[in-house]
Amino acid sequence: MTDNNSSQALKEFISETEEIIEALNLDLMTLSDAVEAGDADPDLVNGIFRGAHSVKGLAGMFGFDDISQLAHRMENLLDSLRLGKVAFSQGLLDTLFYALEQLTRLINGKSTDELFTFDLTQVFDRIEQVLVGDSGTQEDPLQSLEIGNEILNVLTEYEEHRLLENVKKSRNIHLLKIDFDLSSFDQDLAELTQVLKQQGEVISTLPSAGDIGERIAFQILYGSDLERQGIYDLLERDDLNVTTYGDAASDDADDQGFVLETPEPETQEPVSPLMPQTPAESEGSSLRSISRTVRVDIDKLDLLMNIVGELVLSKGAIATISDRLKTEVNNEASADLIKATRSLERRLEELQKGVMDVRMVPIGQLFEKMTRIVRRVSNEQGKKVDLEIRGAETELDKLIIEDVSDPLMHIIRNAIDHGLEAPVERRAEGKPEKGTILLSAAQKGNHVVIEVRDDGRGIDPEYVRRKAIQKGLVAEDQELSPEEIRELLFMPGFSTRDEVSDLSGRGVGMDVVKNNIAELAGMIGLASDIGQGTVVTLTLPITLAIIKALIVRVGSKTYAIPINSVLETLMLEADDISSIEKCEVIELRRTTVPLLRLDQIFGMQEQQESESSEQRLFVAIVGLAEKKMGFVVDELLGQQDVVIKSLGKALSFVKGIAGAAELGNQKTILVLDVAGLMNEAIRSESALHV
């Protein structure tokens, strides 16, 4: 591991352990309040136990044996507390707080020197004193219950402890015998357990012996203040049988709850962590946080980004004024203003980049969520699926990651449901029984490309065409290109499934996915080979906040084209344009690129009729994924940073517009939705062929 990687790993260790310790501090404070109240939530104790266990595991991974050993001792003490082997007292809490202080001191030291350590003998001794000093024998209160050994012998140590605690709280102990339908027992049992927990504690759930055919029986050991009849009334089940053990616990047990007011052992010195310590102990015990990591609400970042956006607009206005002053009044003051404007521009670019970096998160956060989807859907479908992830370190804007999660989930579900074959079918075709879905991400320029690739049956274009004819989407004698057939899959209401399942056949699917991706100024592509598999490609902008845009004029209107979609700009003569099947195209480096006249799209062509057909044309070549198109405009006005503002729901129906932006001269212009315009143009071409 390089020094840089080691330093970064250490920072992550410090950040994560400090977060765990902060949570442990809060939980111990809650536990301390519970001591005074006379009771404690066993789940809280379990949570503190898990926190200590997590610190031990993390320290072990990084080779910090001293941290690992101290966390392990704390874990042992907490485990003894969970199992009722030590008394729950203020002395025990003092020891836990003291151990946590020393743990914090160790981690503080590691942040500046990985070799930092100190003698842990004193804290180890205090933990040992609590463990040994509470090992006296006590009368077993379970004897009066007369619970059979066939039950007691199968209880775990923790379950036996919880049984004892319920007895000490004078709760009634019941054994519920109940059976469920074999096909739905897991869900039915979970629902019944939730009902029981509202009135007591489910101590143990045990399968019941016996051959019962289509049903499965369970025995539930339950502690509650309810009497036997109260349980029948609570559950209202005919197949329920309840056995209650012994009488209610004696009144003497009221003072023997989970919180025991026992005297401190004589061997344990009542040392408080708040008492003055030796110089060796107090050294490094600063309350300052050592982690440089903070968690920030995304709404605060949005507010900051909006402020930066307004500053960018103000900078543009100042630059315009300074340029005008240089032309009209070329003196020393105007030159100084231009220099100051250039300096402001550089600083704003740094600020903008800094805010953007804070918003960026690894796409692996999203990919990891997909593993649960793959596991669940594959189990539901009876298929074996292996999910491979690549490019998880690729970064995207946090809001884009959130908005793309649902479309990506739908694509993966489709890949499992439609794409991958059942194990029997795969074996018959000579494929591995387990199908593979490859989920990958890579940055390409100012875009991130996400691919979902499966090795399934692929898409049969003829089958899709027949389905489209059945649904009346295309004419029976209509000829379609492979690309046009794939576009059918994105039409509203189209589905290749005849039957309706939880996943497919409802006619709501890839069209919604395409619209959601378009709202993110992205594009979706699809490629497939029969018998080999399918690839779905999502092309997304890295961010939707402040963007550079190419400002263009179309007729008397000004528009902005996001620069991350612009590949190049051209100036053409009218005779450079040719026509193929009623569509205007140009030849660009041996590639045919279709043209889209924005004046026609936005209904301005009548303004151009009086102008000469020999005029020169300006073309912005735009591209998303593998598709290219030329937007014909009247003038290129240059590049500028713009902040995209939503048009709101009232204008959400407007096609081809991503939002609005304000220029430095206080003029508001529309920002073009490149993906939407390209999709509309492709659909229009398909309509011409009908």
CATH of the domain at 199: 3.30.70.260
pLDDT at site 35: 67
Is the same domain home to 132 and 195? no
Residue 275 lies in a domain: no
User: What is the extent of the structural domain holding 131?
Assistant: 3-136
Residue 265 lies in a domain: no
Q: pTM for the whole thing?
A: 0.54
Is the same domain home to 164 and 251? yes
Of the candidates 539, 538, 537, 536, which has an alpha carbon nearest to the alpha carbon of residue 419? 536
Residue 92 CB partners (closer than 8 Å, separation 6+): 77, 81, 86, 130
Q: Which residue has the tokens 């080691």?
A: 6
Q: How many CB atoms lie within 10 A of CB 360?
A: 16
pLDDT at site 276: 41
Is the same domain home to 373 and 518? yes
3-state DSSP assignment of residue 323: helix
Is the same domain home to 417 and 536? yes
Is the same domain home to 171 and 186? yes
pLDDT band per the 50, 70, 90 thresholds, residue 441: very high
Is the same domain home to 392 and 485? yes
665 is catalytic: no
Whether the CB-CB separation of 601 and 672 falls below 8 Å is answered with no
Q: Which of 414, 451, 484, 487 is catalytic?
A: 414
Q: Which of 75, 159, 281, 451 is catalytic?
A: 75
Is the same domain home to 387 and 345? no
Q: Give the helix ranges, DSSP H, for 121-183.
A: 121-132, 149-152, 157-168
Residue 281 lies in a domain: no
479 is catalytic: no
pLDDT at site 470: 83
39-74 confidence digits (pLDDT tens): 667 778 888 888 888 898 888 888 898 999 999 999
Beta strands 385-390 and 435-444 are parallel
3-state DSSP assignment of residue 309: helix
* Mean pLDDT of all residues in 193-222: 82
Residue 280 lies in a domain: no
Is the same domain home to 329 and 232? no
Residue 618 lies in a domain: yes
CA-based torsion, 580, 582, 583, 587: positive or negative: positive
Residue 260 lies in a domain: no
Q: Does 29 score more than 90 pLDDT?
A: no
pLDDT at site 489: 84
Is the same domain home to 16 and 125? yes
The structural domain count of the chain equals: 5
399-430 confidence digits (pLDDT tens): 888 889 889 999 999 899 888 999 999 999 99
53 is catalytic: yes
Most confident range, picked from 130-139, 271-280, 410-419, 640-649? 410-419
Is the same domain home to 537 and 561? no
Is the same domain home to 308 and 382? no
Q: Does 4 score more than 80 pLDDT?
A: no
pLDDT at site 391: 92
pLDDT band per the 50, 70, 90 thresholds, residue 504: very low
104-130 confidence digits (pLDDT tens): 889 888 888 888 999 998 899 899 888
Residue 64 lies in a domain: yes
CATH at 27: 1.20.120.160
pLDDT band per the 50, 70, 90 thresholds, residue 321: confident
Q: Which of 12, 25, 53, 160 is catalytic?
A: 53
Is the same domain home to 455 and 563? no
Q: Which two tokens stand for residue 482?
A: 């492979």
